[in-house]
Amino acid sequence: MQALDTFKRLKEFYWPYKKLFFGSIFFLLFVTGISVVYPIMLQQTIDRVIIGNHFNLVPYLAIGFLLIMAVKGLSSYFHQYWGDLFGISSVYNLRKALYKKLQYLPFRYYDNARTGDLMSRLTADVEGFRFFLSFGFAQLFNFILIIGFSLVVMFYYSWELALITLLMTPFLGVAVYRFDRRVHPAFRKIRLSLAGMNTRVQENVSGMNTVKSLSREDYEINRFSSSNNKYKTDYLDTSEIWAKYFPLMEFIGDICVVLLLALGSYFVTIDRIQPGELVAFFSLVWYIMDPLMGLGFIINTFSQSKASGERLLQVLDEPEDIYSPDGAIVTDQLKGHVAFDHVSFKYPSEDKYALEDVSFEAKPGQVIGLMGATGAGKSSITQLIARFYDVTSGQILIDGESVDQYELKSLRKNIGFVLQENFLFSSTIRDNIAYGNPDATDEQVIDAAKRAQAHEFISQMPDGYDTVLGERGMGLSGGQKQRISIARALLVNPSILILDDATSAVDMQTEAKIQEAFRELMKGRTTFIIAHRISSVQHADEIIVLENGKVIERGVHKELLEQTDGTYKRIYNIQYKDADLIKQKVY
């Protein structure tokens, strides 16, 4: 029963719709039963009408046939429609559960996840599972029913011929079993290849600017060709398995037919059975042989569905190790008092510590500057404050309570991020600004935009705040995207603000506008500024300089400049050759 484990574990998604499934199977009984009536009517036509010369039965047979066809047509409709409804309803809940799971999975999962692979699971794998729910189960039941009904009639006509038919089925069973053992791993490889190809396309489209700017089109074409070729190869390997076993199964069926033809003809000559009964028997033989040979298709569908289900369970089974504890603290507004108490941290996939024994305190309303080379641990500090990850050792306190005691949603709604590359959705500017506060009024959205120095350029756009942005804010400059992100943060009204290298990718004129917006955004908030420019942090209440995850310097701008051999002083000398030329820039 291991083969059905995947379906058992996903039972919660389709079992609520069992009435649709059983209703579909109920009408399948009529469809299958009526199918077996056709050979019986054929037998009656040959033996009683043609050979027996009872042509007066023709009108009755014709009317009976039409009535049977009408019942079968109506039954087919309900069988197919309810079967489809069963599959579609089931995967609706499954797809919703997968999407919900993706929303709550920790950052640790996304560190290694590939977008194309996740897209493949939510689309191709869900659809593969749905196909078996809608058609595969029904085909399996039809297989059982048609063989069962056919054998009853066949034994009625001739138990000897029926027994020969039964004796051939184990040979088909062995071929089908061997086929399944090989085809299932092959379909798993196909799913992985498809996911890899999707990932390649997604990365290429997302990074098209980089591709074109470096003239790497040919390289990307070759990379995609490699993924495409692997998908083709894996599919051809599966086709080879199919091509090898299907003719074998058909050959076994043909042997059975030859044996039945020889013995059946002899039985007719000795009046053991009537000619019409032999014709009907042969029709029923194909009612058995066709499903048996078509069992490969059912196994094919089952194997694809099982492979898809396994990939879906990999997502659903992923542990949510960042979660709100029982009795979690819920607060509408934090004061913003942040304290790191001997915090050490390393990412799950790394052996080296990203932070090591870091301690500092940020009182409500203070500005903390974080400086250091790439990989020094600056972003790790801010990610731990928002509890995107949990500390390895030590403790982070916010307003005197450990950060892991807060309800996640409540905690993160009090923390605002403005990043170097802020994500904008393919929606209106109004929706993007109000994303964190969907209940905000138009007046509040406009007020936030004005305070973020964004209202002017938004008003000049074709549809103003109703302008629909392209993917990732396509069509806006870097400075415009940044100011929309600042407006979004203002509307959320966070107690703790994190500015992660937020002006490093804009020109000096745009930076001045953004800094003016930052001054408005930072009022009364505990602010952490990650920056590479001295100008961004020089007025901070405390500047923390990190190197390899350790705090190597701390103090205010003036104090750090007095450390002759300090890292901060060295950065200062690189950025400003003449101290008198420093432009006084304040967020």
The tens digit of pLDDT for each residue in 508-566 reads: 666 666 677 677 778 888 999 998 888 788 889 999 999 999 999 999 999 998 887 88
Q: What integer best gives the mean pLDDT of the chain?
A: 83
Other residues' Cβ atoms within 10 Å of the Cβ of residue 325: 12
Q: How far apart are the C-alpha atoms of 518 and 509, rounded to whole Å?
A: 14
Final residue belonging to a domain, choices 316, 337, 356: 316
Final residue belonging to a domain, choices 259, 286, 316: 316
DSSP state letters, 158-186: -HHHHHHHHHHHHHHHHHHHHHHHHHHHH
| The two three-digit tokens of residue 488, written as one number | 């979004």
Residue 587 has pLDDT above 60, yes or no: no
Please check whether residue 517 lies inside any domain of the structure. no
Between the alpha carbon of residue 511 and those of residues 368, 482, 555, the distances in Å are 20, 10, 25
3-state class (DSSP) for residue 303: helix
- Check whether residue 42 and residue 153 sit in a common domain: yes
- Check whether residue 345 and residue 454 sit in a common domain: no
Please check whether residue 583 lies inside any domain of the structure. no
Q: Name the strands in the sheet holding 496-500, side by side, starting at the edge strand that comes first in the sequence.
A: 415-419, 496-500, 526-530, 367-372, 542-547, 550-555
- pLDDT bracket for residue 16 (50, 70, 90): very high
Please check whether residue 253 lies inside any domain of the structure. yes
- Check whether residue 481 and residue 500 sit in a common domain: no
pLDDT tens-digit readout, 132-146: 888 888 888 888 888
Per-residue pLDDT, averaged over 288-297, amounts to: 71
Residue 170 has pLDDT above 60, yes or no: yes
Structure confidence at residue 472 (pLDDT): 59
- Check whether residue 439 and residue 537 sit in a common domain: no
Q: How far apart are the C-alpha atoms of 229 and 221, rounded to whole Å?
A: 12
Residue 47 has pLDDT above 60, yes or no: yes
Per-residue pLDDT, averaged over 172-201, amounts to: 77
Residue 340 has pLDDT above 70, yes or no: yes
CATH code, 384: 3.40.50.300
Final residue belonging to a domain, choices 316, 339, 367: 316
What sign has the CA pseudo-torsion 128, 224, 316, 324?
Answer: negative
- Check whether residue 231 and residue 354 sit in a common domain: no
Structure confidence at residue 586 (pLDDT): 43
Which residues have CB under 8 Å from 367's CB, separation 6+?
A: 522, 527, 529, 539, 540, 541, 587
- Check whether residue 203 and residue 333 sit in a common domain: no
Please check whether residue 8 lies inside any domain of the structure. yes
Between the alpha carbon of residue 93 and those of residues 13, 99, 426, 427, the distances in Å are 6, 10, 25, 26
Please check whether residue 204 lies inside any domain of the structure. yes
Structure confidence at residue 335 (pLDDT): 92
Per-residue pLDDT, averaged over 259-270, amounts to: 82
Least confident span in 30-34, 108-112, 113-117: 113-117
Q: Is the pTM of this model over 0.85?
A: no
Of the two residues 535 and 399, the one the predictor is more confident about is: 399
- Check whether residue 375 and residue 453 sit in a common domain: no
Residue 241 has pLDDT above 50, yes or no: yes
- Check whether residue 310 and residue 431 sit in a common domain: no
The CA dihedral of 28, 32, 33, 34, to the nearest 10 degrees, is 100
- pLDDT bracket for residue 13 (50, 70, 90): very high
Per-residue pLDDT, averaged over 473-501, amounts to: 82
Domain that holds residue 442: 422-493
Percent with pLDDT over 90 in the chain? 21
The continuous run of DSSP H or E covering 559 comes out as helix 557-561
Q: How far apart are the C-alpha atoms of 11 and 212, rounded to whole Å?
A: 47
Please check whether residue 526 lies inside any domain of the structure. yes
Number of domains in the chain: 3
Contact call for residues 198 and 317 (beta carbons, < 8 A):
no
Q: How far apart are the C-alpha atoms of 480 and 14, rounded to whole Å?
A: 47
Between the alpha carbon of residue 386 and those of residues 100, 497, 567, the distances in Å are 20, 10, 28
